[in-house]
Every structure is written in C-alpha cells, then in structure tokens.
Amino acid sequence: MSENQNSSNCRISRNVLIKAPGLLPMLYTPREIAEDLDVPETTLRDWLNHGAPHSRDESNHIWIDGRQFAAWVDSQRNARKKPTHPLQAGEGFCMRCNTIVKIQNGEIRPVKGRLSHLKGKCPICGGIVNRGIWNAGSAELSQG
Amino acid sequence: MLDRQNYLKVKLFLKFSRDVHGRSSLQISTDFEHLKALLLWAGSQPISSAPAFNTSLPDFLFQKVEKGLIQSELKSILNTNQRFLLWAKAMFPVEFQNIRLSWIMKIPAISE
C-alpha cells in the first residue's frame, strides 16, 4: 500500500542529493535509510509526510524502496529549479518592474571587444533598462 | 529486490570494522561502496549460497570494468569482499558452511 499525504516540495541537502543515487534496490526501514543518507530520522519522517514514496505492511511498519526514494529525491531537486527564460534579442530585465521587458529606444554602445552595452527604456514603467550583450547585431535595435 | 539479510550482515560487518578494528568513517564508507557490488551480485539470494550463483563475482565485476571501473579499484573491491566473507564465515559458521575457505581465499587472486 503506497501513501502520499502531501506532495509539496522539500528542501533536500546537497549531501542527500549525492548519496541518494547510491541507494540499493531494496526495502529500507526509515532508520536505515536515514543512516545511509546521514540525515536525522525525524527529517526523513518529515519527508515521508511530504510525499516521499513509502509503504506500510500489515503490522503498520514503514518500508521505503531505495530506488523509488532516489527517484523522488531527484524529482525534488528538479522541482526546486526555477524555470529559466534566456533573454531574447531586444529584451532586458527591468529592476523596477522585476520582470523581463522589451527594451524601447535602445542604444548600443561598444564596451570592449565583442561586448556592448544596450541601454533603453522599460515600456511599463519608463525606467532605464541596461543590458550587456555579446556580438551586438541589428536584431537588438530592431525591437527598440 | 535485494535480500535484506545480506544488507543487514554487511551493516553488521561495517559496525564490527568500526568498533573492533577501529576503521575510520571514510574507510567504512569506502568499504560499504565496495560491498554494494557483493549485494547487487547476490540479488535476492542469500550470500551464504554464493558459490552456487550462475555468474561468478569476478565476472560480475568485470562487466563493471567494461563500464569504466578501474582495475586497481576492482582489486580493492575484491579484497573488501574477501574480508567480509571471512568475517561472515567466522561469525555465522553454520549458515556459511557451504562457502569453503579456499573459495574465499581465491577471490582477490582472480583479478590478476
């Protein structure tokens, strides 16, 4: 019988992220898996309450499949990663609006070598938006 | 699924190594990594019936050598497994009576 009470994300330490793939394809007790991952048993039980895969036998003892648990740890790591959005040509990050915007009235000034400085205005708040760009081309200015 | 009794014996051996032989945490950690090969090799069968397994331990490890395991590491894995089996035979003489001492002593020599 599998249990998933709460599927919110957990903070997993780097040590656990490294050690979890080494878990064996067998059933562990919470104490054993806590020892192998070098975390307090209370922390592990907290993870179980937050959706870590486990099962209970007829005596209500908790069993954790090592491989399933390792996969869960990996999924937690991926779940905590923020989605990235690489800046496109003509885009910049407005520090006032705290968001990515299309730069208006952009001006490119060479800094050094292939590095250039794009300076323009935010279409939302009208503030100045700066961005460093490599190999500045006409695509950067076409948006402004 | 691996045999839990094998895992518990390995854990007992590591505790024995730490408490009696005074091996450091790093050594214990390395020994455990080496003994994982033995646990994976045994699978769901008890280690005490090791000589009857279809694949021999060196063959199993040689498959890992092809996947990038270094030869010197293979030697130390076999040495650790030999130490474990010698300990297990001494601690559980009835259960490990099918494993002959000569078979255990041959284990590290196979890699050469």
Which residues sit opposite A118 in a β-bridge? Answer: A108, A131
Query: Does residue B91 surpass a pLDDT of 60?
Result: yes
Q: Please state, in angstroms and rounded to a whole number, the distance separating the CA atoms of residues B4 and A94.
A: 57
**Chain A residues in contact with B11 (beta carbon < 8 A):** 32
**Whether pLDDT at A108 is above 60:** yes
| Residue B27: pLDDT band with limits 50, 70, 90 | very high
Statement: residue A5 has pLDDT above 60: no
ipTM at complex level: 0.82
Judged against a pLDDT cut of 80, whether residue A48 lies above it is answered with yes
**What ranges do the domains of chain A cover?**
14-80, 91-142
- Answer whether residue A40 shows pLDDT above 90: yes
Most confident of A139-143, B63-67, B78-82: B78-82
Question: What residue of A is the nearest CA neighbor of B34?
Answer: A22
What percentage of residues in chain A have a pLDDT greater than 90?
A: 56
User: Quick check: A70 and A28 in contact, CB under 8 A?
Assistant: no
Has residue B56 got a pLDDT over 90? no
pLDDT at residue A78 in the model: 74
- Cα–Cα nearest to B9, from B102, B85, B101: B85
Q: What is the CATH number of domain A14-80?
A: 1.10.10
Q: What is the pLDDT of residue B52?
A: 82
Q: What mean pLDDT is reported for chain B?
A: 87
pLDDT (0 to 100) of residue A8:
60
pLDDT value at B14 more than 60: yes
* Type of residue found at A75: S
C-alpha pair distances (Å), B35 with each of B10, B22, B40, B81, B83: 7, 18, 9, 6, 10
Q: What is the pLDDT of residue B83?
A: 94
Quote the minimal CA–CA distance from A26 to chain B in Å. 5
Amino acid at B89: K
- Sort out which chain B residues have CB atoms less than 8 A from A22's CB and list them: 33, 36
Contact B36 A32 (CB under 8 A): no
- Cα(A129)–Cα(B54) distance, rounded to whole angstroms? 69
pLDDT band at B110 (very low <50, low <70, confident <90, very high): low
pLDDT at A129: 94
Task: State if pTM tops 0.80.
Answer: no
